[in-house]
Structure 1
Amino acid sequence: MSQNEENDKDESDSCVNLKDSIPLINDLFHVHCKVGEGAFSSVFLATLKSSDRRKKFALKHLIPTCNPERIERELQCLQKIGGNDYIVGLELCLRYRGSVAFVMPYMKHDRFSEYVKNMTTEETKDYMRALLTALRRVHKFNIIHRDVKPNNFLYDRTNRRYLLVDFGLAQQYTVENLETITEINSQSIEIPKTALSMKRKRFDENNLNFQFNPIAKKNMENKCYCFGKPRVCTLCLVKPQQTAPRAGTPGFRAPEVLLKHPSQTSAIDIWACGVMMLCILSGTQPFFRSPDDCTALMEITAIFGTCNVQQCAYKLGKKVIFSESLPCTDLMSLCLKLQKRNRRITHDRENSICKKAPSNIEYPNEAYHLLTRLLDLDYKTRITAEQALSHPFLSS
């Protein structure tokens, strides 16, 4: 059996599985094919049996093992904010035993890789305006999308239509909750200034003899000597474990997510917007290819420099140690360099098949200024969606 035949068989099996899981779907819809798949769901193209098949729907079938709280959270997000400002709406929710499917309007869209390298300035403006308009609405409801990326921002290039989808990782937050979380975690990781200024004593903090020495224990009270060292002291071992959300797609996670900061805000969505704009202005996709958080942090450091990343970590109550020092790179120079490289590669490839090479695209300085504001390492000073929409690049 060929690869295409295997794919067709898998797709057919998926459609049958969907109908078997929720019998009502077979009564209401013609399910045509699978159009998308993620870690927690599969999306199918369908039309109503009672219609002339003109109106199309996207059926999002969540895997049966999905957490019920996660399903409820996504459903509430779609009901509360969907259907306006380029945000996908919800037509119907179907449930049968342990299976759930969301019925949403279907929008034909292009792949990001098909247009990212040749978007004009005006097209880029429209694209970023729509994305930030959608996020402005999301953030007004104190909701973090948490998975902003090209695959979740659909773009119909022919008709200039946009749609923000997939609220499966969305998170509700309030300022009060963030202040409480910050206070609790700051108590658990607080390091006295006196401890940092003292010279490290030559002993093993985890040595059993030392632990049961009352004099030594008295001297060690409330003092930590392991911060930034390749060991964990007895005092830190008994502290409550610090937890922080890590949900999101590799390559689009903000520095505060990679550094496991507990009180995360809607600014993580803005960082992801910045990564998408970086892909467009540099003509490079994907821009970051990080398989894990440590590599992702190093990729960011390669652009922003070790000093800036260390300063960012310090503001979050963290410490990052690098084996070598890297300078900061100017984003505009980097994008222009990558554009030139990509044009040369495309030119060589297309000339080999007798096609015309793409023309040069020059973005104004305002575009790069907005990019630097979207990719601000400090989430507290990072531009908001509302502010970005008033930026000279998008308001002109």
Structure 2
Amino acid sequence: MAALRFLSDADSCLNLKKSIPLLNELFHIHCKIGEGTFSSVFLATMKSSNRHKKFALKYLIPTCHPERIERELQCLQQMGGKDHIVSIDLCLRHQGSVVFVMPYMKHDKFSEYVRDMTVEETKDYMRALLSAVRRVHQFNIIHRDVKPSNFLYNRANRKYLLVDFGLAQQCTEYNAKNLEAIKTNAGTTEIQSMKRKRSDEFNSNAKKDADIKCNCFGKPKVCALCLTRPQQTAPRAGTPGFRAPEVLLKHPSQTPAIDIWACGVMMLCILSGTQVFFRSPDDCTALAEITTIFGSRKVQQCAEKLGKKIIFSENLPGIDIMSLCLKLRKRNRSMMHNRENSTCKVLPDIEYPKEAYQLLIKLLNLDYETRITAEQALSHPFLNL
């Protein structure tokens, strides 16, 4: 198996060199260190530096849309290098192949530290994460894929890096809270004009829908009228388990608040000592998992505010999130302690202050309009104790 993997990595490196010949002149390409839907990442050293300086080469698959590549490149150029956001040193293109050359940072796996982070370490981690997300939002950008594997952490040196802007999108919808909290590149007049246009379109569509009434709303069936209507589309990019409720409910107007929800899920993993927390294979299962925590009534209220309706076969009361985290940590400690011949580290008995859970609840607010912003979160008592 190891030999097969080595051959696979060697073939991948060879293909990369063939795709962009200039890479072979500049770098020693060692191995593949990461792979996603739209790209592969390779470890390399510059030939002129005698292998001292390491780089991460992100090779975008040739079928990537040019706009996606341009958007990611702009994000790295504008935001990179500050507040724990990865920078870019070079971009190489040959025919349909593109490679981003970025600094390499050695990092630990989330599963290796999520269960035994101290209170102070958790504060540092969340401060760095929220600082990076705040900077992204200041540029009117939604990262859309905030998750542990995209927030690199070198535990020994306490270094952090937010990476992978392949799914990033320009934010096109604002509410009053975000207008105050986020620095935008658009002027006030342009935003107001955009809002009026959307409002006119919404009111026009609403009148049309009101004239023709369906008989299946709120019922476990779909009528012939609804079957003839066009399919509703909304951005769904992101990783299962980290998608916010408004994404799962296909709300068309999504804001930077979806990144805040993902930060909340990461904090939930840390406080509960559980990884991965949400194991949802699809959006319906994801909503069901969220419902077991927050209760059916709160999820229904969230859906109603987004113009949706969810029907549950039974009413779920919801769970106190602090009690849930404590119970999961206790269970994980017990499981690891009882394993025979286990090489796993025993989960320490860490007591987080109540302020930690208060921040967690604000990050995991079901209502995206009242969900805390990155700026507000950084001023929360837990991160300033």
> Scaled by the length of structure 1, what TM-score is found?
0.88
Does the 8 A contact of 1:182 with 1:263 survive in 2?
A: no
Are 2:285 and 1:287 aligned? no
Q: Distance in 2 between matches of 1:310 and 1:191?
A: 25
Deviations 1:172-202 (A, max 9, x none): 013345775576456546798xx8xxxxxxx
Gap change, CA 1:54 and 1:370, over 3 Å in 2: same
In the alignment, which of 101, 106, 109 is matched to residue 107 of structure 2? Answer: 109
Matched with 1:140 is 138
Deviations 1:225-284 (A, max 9, x none): 322234444554554443200000000000000000000000000000000000000000
Secondary structure at 2:372 match in 1? coil
Q: CA RMSD in A?
A: 1.9
Gaps of 5+ in 1: 196-220
Gap change, CA 1:190 and 1:134, over 3 Å in 2: farther
Are 2:336 and 1:338 aligned? no
In the alignment, which of 353, 356, 359 is matched to residue 367 of structure 1? Answer: 356
Q: Distance in 2 between matches of 1:154 and 1:146?
A: 16
In the alignment, which of 347, 370, 379 is matched to residue 381 of structure 1? Answer: 370
Shift of 1:295: 0.6
Q: Distance in 1 between matches of 2:253 and 2:203?
A: 11
In the alignment, which of 80, 83, 90 is matched to residue 81 of structure 2? Answer: 83
Q: Distance in 1 between matches of 2:63 and 2:71?
A: 15
Shift of 1:68: 1.0
Secondary structure at 2:135 match in 1? helix
Q: Distance in 2 between matches of 1:384 and 1:371?
A: 12
Matched with 1:66 is 64
Gap change, CA 1:288 and 1:180, over 3 Å in 2: farther
Shift of 1:346: 1.3
Shift of 1:359: 2.7
Q: Which amino acid aligns with 2:366?
A: L
In the alignment, which of 48, 51, 66 is matched to residue 50 of structure 1? Answer: 48
Deviations 1:94-131 (A, max 9, x none): 00001000000000000000000000000000000000
Deviations 1:69-117 (A, max 9, x none): 1111101111111111000001010000010000000000000000000
Gap change, CA 1:8 and 1:117, over 3 Å in 2: same
Q: Distance in 1 between matches of 2:327 and 2:217?
A: 40
Secondary structure at 1:249 match in 2? coil
Superposed counterparts of 1:200-349, under 5 Å = 221-233=211-223, 235-237=225-227, 239-349=229-339
Q: Distance in 2 between matches of 1:10 and 1:86?
A: 32
Does the 8 A contact of 1:259 with 1:318 survive in 2?
A: yes
Gap change, CA 1:323 and 1:30, over 3 Å in 2: same
Gaps of 5+ in 2: 175-190
Matched with 2:179 is none
Q: Distance in 1 between matches of 2:215 and 2:208?
A: 9
Are 2:7 and 1:5 aligned? no
Does the 8 A contact of 1:132 with 1:389 survive in 2?
A: yes
Matched with 2:183 is none
Q: Which amino acid aligns with 1:274?
A: G
Q: Distance in 2 between matches of 1:104 and 1:24?
A: 16
Matched with 1:209 is none
Does the 8 A contact of 1:259 with 1:313 survive in 2?
A: yes
Q: Which amino acid aligns with 1:159?
A: N
Shift of 1:353: 4.8
Q: Distance in 1 between matches of 2:226 and 2:287?
A: 25
Q: Distance in 2 between matches of 1:372 and 1:183?
A: 35
Percent identity reads 72
Secondary structure at 2:82 match in 1? coil
Q: Distance in 2 between matches of 1:187 and 1:302?
A: 37
Q: Which amino acid aligns with 2:303?
A: A
Gap change, CA 1:158 and 1:103, over 3 Å in 2: same
Gap change, CA 1:354 and 1:388, over 3 Å in 2: closer
Does the 8 A contact of 1:21 with 1:96 survive in 2?
A: yes
Does the 8 A contact of 2:115 with 2:270 survive in 1?
A: yes
Secondary structure at 1:50 match in 2? helix
Deviates more, 1:39-48 or 1:178-187: 178-187
Number of paired residues? 366
Does the 8 A contact of 1:112 with 1:151 survive in 2?
A: yes
Q: Distance in 2 between matches of 1:352 and 1:300?
A: 35
Q: Distance in 2 between matches of 1:391 and 1:257?
A: 26
Secondary structure at 1:155 match in 2? strand
Gap change, CA 1:186 and 1:311, over 3 Å in 2: farther
Superposed counterparts of 1:10-21, under 5 Å = 10-21=8-19
In the alignment, which of 23, 26, 32 is matched to residue 25 of structure 1? Answer: 23
Does the 8 A contact of 2:336 with 2:342 survive in 1?
A: no
